Structure 1
Amino acid sequence: MEPQPRPVTPAAPPTIVGDRPPKPEPIDSEVLLLVEGKDSHNFFDALCKHLKLSDQLQIMNFGGVRELKEFLIGLRSASGFGDVKIMGIVRDAEQSSASAFQSVQESLKHAKLPVPVNPEQFSYDGQPAVGIMILPGQGQPGMLETLLCKTFADTPERHCIDAFFKCVQEQCPDSRVSNPEKARTRVFLATKKKPHPSVGVAARIGYWHLGQEVLEPTRKFLQSLTAATD
């Protein structure tokens, strides 16, 4: 009698990790800074080191803007969350600073966390206190790269970069730059001795002037986070 073939068990569908928000890591600080993506994580890590605040707060990457709500819910059950006294959330404005701020407010409400009334102000209506910063700041649309473009606005490189994009527009009319700020930061980084396409890694290398006046609101937001636990 010929052996019967074994039944084939259907393979389980692959898990798409990209559809899930990053899992909150254990918390070991009273101060949390939640940021949008790896580039922002690296940038704010460099800025905190520049301000000598690295040992006073913990930075977490919540992933993309659509993942913040679930990340906050998961954060509440993370080890050490009960000891957190204050938390800052930083995300890009994209097309609208007001819409971005309202989106973060809704995520906080969903996670039953304090909800600030205005950007860069803290809500102390519960623990932890919570503040929100929308980049590039001052109610403007844009993102981290928009703010970084301002750090080299008056440099010779900026004039050359503008001339480059003008030339491309004139010589290649079918060319389209979908995100001018991101494009300009990458061209600026291409002028460095060891170019790197990541604006966050570039911050760690020291390619951004973190003491620039345009970064003062961002520095103050970080400083206000750590000052609240003094």
Structure 2
Amino acid sequence: MSLKPREITREKLLLVEGKDEVNFFEALLEQSGIEGFEIIDVGGKRNFAKELKMLALLTGFEKVKTLIIVRDADDNADDAFASAGSALHSIHFHTPNCQNELREYEGRKVGIYIMPGNFENGMLEDLCMSSVADQPVISCIESFFECIKQKGCIPKNLSKAKAHVFLASQSELVTSIGVAAKKGYWNFSHPSLQALTHFLQEA
């Protein structure tokens, strides 16, 4: 878990689940030319409410003009949105009416983005893999997983497994989705990432 700030120094906060997300969004923001965000790792999807309450006590929080929560949909995008909304309610913030949209109230923008987007179930790994879906190696990866399925081997988390096999196919192996983002392994200009990029630009 990354160190939490002792005071808020920027007007835009982006709260994410973990270190992989921090690295991914640092790379995405840099690639997209989006500035002004302070990215905070809350240390897991169950910690948003606790971390928000702590952040709200820090010097500078009263000057925050944009607050974004980004988390995985996992098995239920609607439940993930409701959970993030509950975290915002814990500090008496008005929540957006819908996931992946911004709400402005009394001069402050608040948003909840549920990955991979489009109200679909899944996670950061699904979003990353969608950005490289047109690469030739993907057919090899799909064949590999079909093969091991026939042998009775079914990964507990197929999305993570496919992402790590893709990373293993690169010239330099990394085992972190976030580090892979900083090395340029994910295609930030792919149409599948445009909704997220636009959301952050509007924030």
Aligned positions of 1:123-162 closer than 5 A: 123-126=103-106, 128-162=108-142
Tell me the TM-score normalized by structure 1: 0.83
Same amino acid, percent of matched pairs: 37
Partner SS, residue 105 of structure 2: coil
Count of aligned positions = 203
Q: Which of these residues, 177, 181, 188, is aligned with residue 210 of structure 1?
A: 188
Give, in angstroms, the shift of residue 95 of structure 1: 0.5
1:30–1:85: 8 Å Cα contact kept in structure 2?
yes
Give, in angstroms, the shift of residue 92 of structure 1: 0.3
Q: Which of these residues, 187, 192, 197, is aligned with residue 175 of structure 2?
A: 197
Q: Which residue of 2 aligns with 1:34?
A: 15
Say what the alpha-carbon RMSD is for the aligned residues. 1.6
Instruction: Kindly provide the amino acid, as one letter, of the partner of residue 187 in structure 2.
Output: H
- Alpha-carbon distance in structure 2 between the residues aligned to 1:74 and 1:102: 20
Q: Which residue of 2 aligns with 1:182?
A: 160
Q: Which residue of 2 aligns with 1:118?
A: 98
Q: Which residue of 2 aligns with 1:228?
A: none
1:22–1:62: 8 Å Cα contact kept in structure 2?
no
Give, in angstroms, the shift of residue 176 of structure 1: 2.4
Instruction: Kindly provide the amino acid, as one letter, of the partner of residue 167 in structure 2.
Output: L
Partner SS, residue 137 of structure 1: coil
Cα deviations across residues 175-223 of structure 1 (Å, max 9, x unaligned)? 2211111111111111111110101010001111111010000101110
Instruction: Kindly provide the amino acid, as one letter, of the partner of residue 209 in structure 1.
Output: N
Instruction: Kindly provide the amino acid, as one letter, of the partner of residue 32 in structure 2.
Output: L
Q: Which residue of 1 aligns with 2:198?
A: 220
Q: Identify unmatched segments of 5+ residues in structure 2.
A: none
CA 1:195–1:25: 2 relative to 1, 3 Å: farther
2:76–2:121: 8 Å Cα contact kept in structure 1?
yes
Partner SS, residue 222 of structure 1: helix
Q: Which residue of 2 aligns with 1:14?
A: none
Cα deviations across residues 22-55 of structure 1 (Å, max 9, x unaligned)? 744422111111111111110000000001224x
- Alpha-carbon distance in structure 1 between the residues aligned to 2:195 and 2:118: 9
- Alpha-carbon distance in structure 2 between the residues aligned to 1:63 and 1:113: 21
Partner SS, residue 124 of structure 1: strand
- Alpha-carbon distance in structure 1 between the residues aligned to 2:6 and 2:139: 43
Instruction: Kindly provide the amino acid, as one letter, of the partner of residue 136 in structure 1.
Output: P
Give, in angstroms, the shift of residue 149 of structure 1: 1.5
- Alpha-carbon distance in structure 1 between the residues aligned to 2:86 and 2:123: 20
2:42–2:51: 8 Å Cα contact kept in structure 1?
yes
Q: Which residue of 2 aligns with 1:163?
A: 143
Instruction: Kindly provide the amino acid, as one letter, of the partner of residue 10 in structure 2.
Output: S
- Alpha-carbon distance in structure 2 between the residues aligned to 1:22 and 1:57: 16
CA 1:49–1:182: 2 relative to 1, 3 Å: same
Q: Which of these residues, 96, 105, 110, is aligned with residue 76 of structure 2?
A: 96
Instruction: Give the greater-gyration-radius structure (CA).
Output: 1
1:24–1:74: 8 Å Cα contact kept in structure 2?
no
Q: Identify unmatched segments of 5+ residues in structure 1.
A: 1-17, 226-230
- Alpha-carbon distance in structure 1 between the residues aligned to 2:5 and 2:75: 28
